[in-house]
C-alpha cells in the first residue's frame, strides 16, 4: 500500500514553519496536525527544528499533545542524538523515530536502538542513497526502513522500505512506481489541498492506497421512511457504547471514505462530522451491519468525550442497576482507577487511599517497592493463591502511583500496544 505522509516542520514546539524559509504556516501545531489527520493523511512526519535542550523539551510536549489529539501514526525526526531521545519520542506516542545518518553517532546507535525498541520502531534518515548503501547491512538488520530526503535514484537496496521526502516538483507516479517506496512526504504532498483527491488520482493510476471500499453498499442497507439508518457507536478498546446517531447516504459514504465518523443531524437537517466543532473526532476502526441490515455498529477510537455534556459516553443516566461480577479485566482496572481518582478529588475520612495521597509520593513509592518484594516471596510458594493476592495489592498501589502522576490506563495500554 502507498501512503501519503505530510511533513510538518516544528520549531520551538510552538509553530509550524516552511522548510526553506521562516514562513509561519501555523501557530497551533496540534490543530494543524488534526486537520491533516482528518483530511486523509496516512501518517504525519514531524521534523523537530528546535535549537537547544529547552526548545527540544518544549517540542516533546507538543509531540505528546499531537499524538493524544489524533489517531494517526506519528513519525518523528530531528534532534535525535541519543537512545534517550528515541525513548522520549516513543513514550510521547510516536510510532517510529528516525536516526539521522549524517551523524556517525547515530549510525553507531542503530544497533542499540533496534535491539532496545525493536527495529520496527526505528528507521534512518538519509540525505542520499549513498548513505544507505555505505551502511546497508546495519540498516537492514537494525531498522524498519529509510526516510530518504530526495529522489529515490538507486534500487540496490530494494528490500528496504523507503519514504521519500520530496521538497520540489516531481512526478509522483515515477516515485511510487519504485517497488520499495511505500510513502511520499515533503512539500510535494504538503502543497496538496485535498489528500483524498490525491489518493483518488493514485488509485486511478493503479496504485493501492488507503481508501477502503465498503463490502455492503448503501443500497443494500434497510433504511427507515426518511432514508436514514441508526448507528450505534462503540469504543473499539473498551466496548463501551458511546452514542447512537443516524446516517443518510452522504454520511455513510463520507464515513467510509474518510475514516472519520460522519452522521446526519435530524434536528439541523444536515451532515454532521463528529468533532468538527469540539475536536472530539471519532476514528472509524470497523463498521458492521446487523442481521437485518437495518442498524450499523461502528467501533471507533474516540478523541476526548463523545457526549456534548462532556461525559465520555452519552449513556450515563442510570435507570436500573444490579450488582454483577465483571470479568473484563480492562473494565475492572478502569473501575478501580475511577474509585481512586474519586478519593483524590473527594477525600473520605478513614480512607487508606487518601492516607497514601496525604503522605505523598515517597510513601506511595515505598509501598510499591514493598508489594513488589512480597510478590517475589509469594512466588516461591508452589500454590498460586498467595501470588494472586500480592499481585492485586501491587496493582492497587501502582494505580495510586498512576493517579499521583496523572497516568491513565489508556496511556499504559497504548504503550504496551506500541511495543
DSSP string, 127-139: SSHHHHHHTHHHH
Class of the CATH-defined domain 3-204: alpha beta
Pairing of strands 122-126, 146-148: parallel
Average pLDDT score over residue span 23-49? 90
Under the banding of pLDDT at 50, 70 and 90, the label for residue 13 is confident
Domain boundaries, the chain: 3-204, 218-302, 329-418
Distances (CA, A) of 247 to 213, 214, 215: 17, 15, 17
Cell numbers representing residue 327 in the block = 470479568
Helix (H, G, I), strand (E, B) or coil at 178: coil
pLDDT for residue 196: 93
pLDDT for residue 86: 92
Q: Which residues of 325-335 are buried (b: 16+ CB within 10 A; e: fewer)?
A: eeeeeeeeebe
Decide if pLDDT at 6 tops 70.
Answer: yes
Cell numbers representing residue 200 in the block = 483518488
The string of pLDDT tens digits covering residues 313-347 is 999 998 998 876 666 777 788 889 989 999 999 99
Average pLDDT score over residue span 266-292? 95
31, exposed or middle or buried, with CB in 10 Å at 0-12, 13-18, 19+?
A: middle
Closest CA to 191 of 170, 213, 209, 160: 170
Closest CA to 252 of 284, 209, 208, 204: 284
Calpha distance 57→13 (Å, rounded): 8
Pairing of strands 146-148, 24-26: unpaired
Which residue is listed with cell 457526549?
307
The architecture in CATH of the region 218-302 reads Roll (3.10)
Calpha distance 378→13 (Å, rounded): 48
Calpha distance 253→312 (Å, rounded): 26
Helix (H, G, I), strand (E, B) or coil at 96: strand
* CB distance 161 to 184 below 8 Å: no
Under the banding of pLDDT at 50, 70 and 90, the label for residue 34 is very high
Rounded to the nearest angstrom, the gap between the alpha carbon of residue 219 and the centroid of all alpha carbons in its chain is 33
The string of pLDDT tens digits covering residues 166-223 is 876 678 888 888 888 999 998 778 767 789 999 999 999 999 999 988 999 999 999 9
Cell numbers representing residue 148 in the block = 530518504
Across the strands, what pairs with 245? 231
329-418 placed in CATH 1.10.287.1080: yes
N residues, the chain:
419
The string of pLDDT tens digits covering residues 367-415 is 999 999 999 999 988 888 889 889 999 999 999 999 999 998 888 887 7
* CB distance 165 to 142 below 8 Å: no
Cα(first)–Cα(last) distance of the chain, in Å?
23
Cell numbers representing residue 74 in the block = 506519528
- Taken in order 335, 336, 340, 343, the sign of the CA dihedral is positive
Distances (CA, A) of 400 to 39, 337, 338, 388: 39, 8, 11, 19
pLDDT for residue 21: 63
The string of pLDDT tens digits covering residues 37-93 is 999 999 999 999 888 888 888 899 999 999 999 999 999 999 898 899 999 999 888
Which residue is listed with cell 510510532?
95
Distances (CA, A) of 296 to 248, 289, 293, 410: 12, 5, 8, 26
Calpha distance 406→417 (Å, rounded): 20
Amino acid at each position: 500500500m502507498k501512503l501519503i505522509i505530510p511533513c510538518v516542520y516544528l520549531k520551538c514546539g510552538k509553530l509550524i514553519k516552511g522548510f526553506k524559509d521562516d514562513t509561519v504556516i501555523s501557530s497551533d501545531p496540534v490543530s494543524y496536525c488534526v486537520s491533516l489527520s482528518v483530511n486523509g493523511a496516512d501518517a504525519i512526519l514531524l521534523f523537530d527544528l528546535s535549537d537547544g535542550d529547552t526548545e527540544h523539551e518544549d517540542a516533546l510536549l507538543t509531540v505528546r499533545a499531537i499524538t493524544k489529539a489524533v489517531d494517526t501514526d506519528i513519525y518523528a525526526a530531528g534532534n535525535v542524538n541519543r537512545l534517550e531521545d528515541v525513548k522520549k519520542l516513543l513514550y510521547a506516542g510516536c510510532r517510529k523515530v528516525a536516526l539521522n545518518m549524517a551523524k556517525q553517532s547515530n549510525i553507531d546507535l542503530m544497533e542499540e536502538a533496534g535491539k532496545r525498541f525493536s527495529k520496527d520502531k526505528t528507521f534512518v534518515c538519509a540525505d542520499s542513497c549513498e548513505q544507505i548503501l555505505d551502511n546497508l547491512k546495519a540498516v537492514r538488520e537494525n531498522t524498519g526502513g529509510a526516510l530518504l530526503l530526495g529522489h529515490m535514484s538507486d534500487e540496490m537496496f530494494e528490500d528496504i522500505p523507503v519514504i521519500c521526502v520530496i521538497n520540489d516538483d516531481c512526478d509522483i507516479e515515477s516515485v511510487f512506481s519504485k517497488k520499495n517506496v511505500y510513502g511520499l512526504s515533503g512539500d510535494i504532498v504538503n502543497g496538496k489541498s485535498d489528500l483524498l483527491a490525491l489518493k483518488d488520482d493514485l488509485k486511478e493510476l493503479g496504485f493501492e492506497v488507503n481508501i477502503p471500499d465498503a463490502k455492503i453498499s448503501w443500497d443494500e442497507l434497510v433504511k427507515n421512511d426518511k432514508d436514514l439508518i441508526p448507528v450505534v457507536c462503540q469504543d473499539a478498546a473498551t466496548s463501551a457504547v458511546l452514542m447512537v446517531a443516524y446516517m443518510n447516504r452522504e454520511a455513510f459514504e463520507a464515513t467510509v471514505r474518510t475514516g472519520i465518523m460522519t452522521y446526519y443531524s435530524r434536528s439541523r437537517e444536515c451532515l454532521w462530522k463528529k468533532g468538527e466543532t469540539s475536536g472530539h473526532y471519532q476514528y472509524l476502526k470497523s463498521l458492521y451491519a446487523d442481521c437485518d441490515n437495518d442498524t450499523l455498529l461502528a467501533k471507533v477510537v474516540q478523541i476526548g468525550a463523545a457526549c456534548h455534556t462532556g461525559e465520555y459516553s452519552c449513556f450515563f443516566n442510570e435507570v436500573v442497576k444490579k450488582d454483577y461480577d465483571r470479568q473484563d479485566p480492562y473494565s475492572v482496572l478502569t473501575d478501580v482507577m475511577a474509585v481512586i481518582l474519586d478519593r483524590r478529588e473527594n477525600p473520605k475520612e478513614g480512607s487508606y487511599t487518601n492516607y497514601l495521597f496525604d503522605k505523598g509520593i515517597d510513601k506511595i513509592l515505598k509501598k510499591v517497592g514493598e508489594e513488589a518484594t512480597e510478590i517475589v516471596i509469594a512466588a516461591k510458594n508452589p500454590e498460586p493463591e498467595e501470588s494472586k493476592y500480592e499481585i492485586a495489592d501491587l496493582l492497587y498501589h501502582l494505580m495510586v502511583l498512576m493517579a499521583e502522576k496523572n497516568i491513565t490506563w489508556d496511556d499504559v495500554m497504548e504503550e504496551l500496544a506500541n511495543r
